[in-house]
Structure 1
Amino acid sequence: MKIILSVLTVLFLVSCSSTRIVDTWTNQEHLNYKPKKVLIVGVTENLTARRLFESKLKDEFTARGINAVESYNVFKPTFTNAKQTEEEIDEEVKRVSNNGFDSVLISAVKGVDEKVTYSGDAYRTNYYWRRFGRYYYLYQDVYFDRGYYEKYNVYHIEASLYNLKENNDKSLVWVASYDIVDPNTINTTINDYVNAIIKSLEKENIISNK
């Protein structure tokens, strides 16, 4: 659980766009692992987004017969309001485990890429336009039209599930990476992302279908 130290920010991004899975991995030593009481952790200064994410994921777990609790109802306010030492984090994890939690699910932003898309006419492949003049005429708007190219962001997200009963390097049960393209609205993004997490966990047979 010391890996929690490296989690600086969590997905509480916004999107009306797409969430797609990039990669997934399941620990072969935990193939039969079934979480019974899951702590859902969100690390963000945006309290509203944190609550939305954790509550949505809690509802999905509850619908599948799994006891899940939002971290804002478990962590002490001082734990999230100030930077913690490694020893303080270990003590909080121990307290959580002693309260019956056997799992924790954390989601973190791993990086953001800025992409550019061409907003003009469709890409042309009819190469019979071989004259320079004709070619230049067709593409010269790039110099004058500020909307010729449009920028958007792709957020690279990672979700991880840990076994709290094994506080060692083998405690990671499952991890998956996702890309969220061009986020815009908070509710849509959180819903799409949580649904993607749930589908991944169902596919790996870590949780059951509804």
Structure 2
Amino acid sequence: MKNTRTIARTVGGLMLAAFLLYGIGSSVALAATNGVLMISGVIMMLLNSVAVIVIGILLVPILRPHAPAVAVVYLTARLFEGVFLAAGALFLLRGSAHMNFLAYSVAMAGLSIGSLVFCVALYRSRLVPRFLSVWGFVGYASFATGCILELSGVAGVGIISTVPGGLFELFFAVWLITRGFRSSVGFAAEARI
């Protein structure tokens, strides 16, 4: 139980850190007027990639008892996201903001699709309250749709589609830090009452 609590807090902290690392890092790298700022921003973006991959790794033992296949799918989605975001960061070093945007859109589409099954597993397992699982599913579905439309040439929808999923990830991260995952022991007690 204590290990689960530690994992929840770590995942929540990493989700918040990833948000800041990518958001600030990409803003700095895209606005950089010198090499030092560019490299600083890219390093933050690469640290984000490490954070999102670690999130996937840490959630495997949490998901595996409830949904073994989903644990693998979610880890794969996080690996996919991390690799494409890192590639996008490296494209910025080569001066290609367009390729960075393309890599970001592909990464977010992959993460969103993988996160749909993650939210279904959260809903079924009741590791978190069901309203969170539903919110996450709606947010990731919106994000996936926006990214796919953006990749298809419909400009501007990607940013709008991030709002529900982005707010979910922030709230979910805070939830994990403060409340963690529900234990299966607690469910057995609730079911008897």
TM score, norm. by length of structure 1: 0.29
Larger strand fraction of residues: 1
Larger helix fraction of residues: 2
**Which has the larger Rg?**
1
Q: Highest relative contact order (Cα 8 Å, sep 6+), 1 or 2?
A: 1
